[in-house]
Amino acid sequence: MTRKCCAATRVPIEAESRSRSKWHSKKMETSEPEKKIREVVDACTDCDVCRHLMDADCLFFPELYRLWDQEQASGEAISADALRRLVDLCNFCALCPCPNIRADVIEAKTQFIDRDGLKFGVRTIEDVERIGIICGTFPRFFNALLRNRPTGYLLKSAAGIHAERKFPEFPPTNFTRWAQRRRLNIKGNPAKKRKVAYFAGCTARFLFPEVPQAAVSVLQAVGVDVTVPEQKCCGMPSLLEGDRKLTLEVVGFNLRQLVDAVKDGYDIVCSCPTCGFMIKTVLREGAYYSAEYQTSVGSEAAQLKLPAGRDLIGGRKENGFVVLQKSIYGRILKDEGYFSNFSARDRIRVAEHTFDLGEYLNRLQCAGELDPPANTVTGRMLYFPPCHGREQKIGRPYIELLGRIPGIQLESIDGHFYCCGMAGIMGFKREFHEPSIQLGRRLMDKIREIDPDRIVTDCLSCRLQFNQLLSFPVSHPIEVLRDAYGCKGA
């Protein structure tokens, strides 16, 4: 019998997760987090697709299969310590084909943190916004400390950051202050046809403010009214580290702000692909199965109505919905994930009105509402698509947008086969530094082979890694578009 992964069987991901983990879970005299990650091990080794699929660009699956093979050869069960170390290798890049598996890994990691607590170093670096606010208040002072080898070493050591990891300089002012000075925190013309609530992301707001400044400039230049609502971290760094309390705190705050914006007729636009992935995909998972949503769409008691186009077997199409029998799916299609305590309708409302910045601009272009840029921008540019952009299933809108700029010679790399290895804050950790460089080696070699004038990527985490390992200048695509449209600087 041929084994298949859940992505190939077209079974709802929540159904696959629950059924397989029950069928294949081994009995272990361990507590809940070990049981949860053990369920993942058993499900993945039963499927086995990722044994070779994920060899080059993942730390988690090669280690999972190594532990499994060792267990089969020795007859000794994988130890609790090995299972604990295993969960820390998942960086939630979303390259693997089964969303339920990575969700279970994060749940296991969260259970470990709930039980054992969070290390000081991790608690320090997971809150990028707090770092940005503290260090950005006295940027010259902290930049001097980090540039000085002894004090820089002490600061990095205290935070669990590898000594060789380069830290970007803190800018004289952050994007939040820049936006407030321009009164962008105040909603503009309610009658405006095109208006967006811009969610910039922590790395952009506090480390690379030139990127969100360029985003605002381009959006305004093409006739879009921009407001910058009060916002916190999207929650991905703390989610990745298993910090449930901080994750729910920041996600809940953002959800309230963004729901209000949507109700006022704003679209939400993200220039950070990780923030977009978090708001559009992760936050919404399971929401359509909730009683709240089912009631809102008039689902009958014995049925589940889901938006048409979802990857489901069975059911019938009816007025834009797929209708499933609750007797078959009701016990497995439930809204009981990480964010299920938040209103399902709010999560859906926000997700369905959220766009990646490139996606939003490309939609304007396809609708004939985006004038082509007039300025020439010369140079051989290499575009690298980020993993969390891929998972939004929006294609590569920046290829289309940059392709309209006179003078650019543009080449791109397939993000399915290459990874920068940074993995957000994981790349800063002392224990993850060398593996992150190993993960990114193939990509760095490929870029050196192409030898572009400039690297272009919309992921600032990738940008940090490129700055760490390469000498090429790196830009966000929106910075190139800003130059092409002749927008004024900050």
pLDDT tens string 307-341: 987 655 567 888 889 999 998 888 888 998 899 99
Q: Which amino acid makes up residue 74? A: S
Q: What is the pLDDT of residue 310?
A: 62
Count CB-CB contacts under 10 A for residue 473.
Answer: 14
> pLDDT, tens digit, for every residue of 246-298?
999 999 999 999 999 999 999 999 999 999 999 999 999 999 999 999 999 99
The residues with which 225 forms a beta bridge, in sequence order, are 195
Q: What is the pLDDT of residue 2?
A: 35
Report percent pLDDT > 70 for the chain. 92
pLDDT(98) > 90: no
State the chain's mean pLDDT as an integer. 89
- Measured in Å, how far apart are the chain's first and last C-alpha atoms? 62
Q: What is the pLDDT of residue 220?
A: 95
pLDDT(9) > 70: no
Report the candidate in 479, 244, 268, 232 with the shortest Cα–Cα distance to residue 379. 479
> pLDDT, tens digit, for every residue of 57-75?
789 999 999 999 999 999 9
pLDDT(221) > 60: yes
| Backbone torsions φ then ψ of 156, nearest 5 degrees | -65, -40
> pLDDT, tens digit, for every residue of 135-154?
999 999 999 999 999 999 99
Contact call for residues 38 and 30 (beta carbons, < 8 A): yes
Sheet holding 454-456, edge to edge: 408-412, 379-383, 454-456, 474-475
Residues 6 or more apart in contact with residue 481 via CB below 8 angstroms: 214, 218, 361, 373, 401, 402, 405
- Alpha-carbon gap, residue 101 to 133, rounded angstroms: 35
Contact call for residues 6 and 100 (beta carbons, < 8 A): yes
* Band of residue 17 on the pLDDT scale cut at 50, 70, 90: very low
For the CA atoms of 389, 390, 396, 399, the dihedral, rounded to the nearest 10 degrees, stands at 70
The residues with which 321 forms a beta bridge, in sequence order, are 307, 318
- Alpha-carbon gap, residue 203 to 209, rounded angstroms: 8
> pLDDT, tens digit, for every residue of 427-475?
999 999 999 999 999 999 999 999 999 999 999 999 999 999 999 999 9
Report the candidate in 425, 489, 415 with the shortest Cα–Cα distance to residue 447. 415
Q: What single DSSP character describes residue 282?
A: I
Between residues 319 and 17, the one the model is more confident about: 319
Contact call for residues 136 and 171 (beta carbons, < 8 A): yes
- Alpha-carbon gap, residue 167 to 147, rounded angstroms: 9
Q: What is the pLDDT of residue 56?
A: 73
Between residues 7 and 266, the one the model is more confident about: 266
Token duo for residue 79: 């130890």
Q: What is the pLDDT of residue 6?
A: 44
Tell me the pairing of strands 321-325 and 303-307: antiparallel
Rounded to the nearest 10 degrees, the angle between the axes of helix 210-221 and helix 477-485 is 50
Mean pLDDT of 215-237: 96
Q: What is the pLDDT of residue 490?
A: 53
Extract long-range pairs of 143-152: CB within 8 Å, 24+ residues apart: 143/169, 143/170
For the CA atoms of 104, 459, 357, 102, the dihedral, rounded to the nearest 10 degrees, stands at -10
CA distances from 348 to 253, 282, 336 (A): 16, 11, 15
pLDDT(28) > 50: no
Q: What is the pLDDT of residue 311?
A: 56
Contact call for residues 48 and 132 (beta carbons, < 8 A): no
Residues 6 or more apart in contact with residue 309 via CB below 8 angstroms: none
Of these ranges, 90-94, 211-215, 373-377, the one predicted with the greatest mean pLDDT is 211-215
* Band of residue 31 on the pLDDT scale cut at 50, 70, 90: low
What number of residues does the chain have?
490
* Band of residue 391 on the pLDDT scale cut at 50, 70, 90: confident
Token duo for residue 394: 């929006």
* Band of residue 191 on the pLDDT scale cut at 50, 70, 90: confident
Residues 6 or more apart in contact with residue 207 via CB below 8 angstroms: 132, 168, 170, 171, 460
> Which residue blocks in 370-432 are alpha helix, DSSP H?
387-390, 397-402
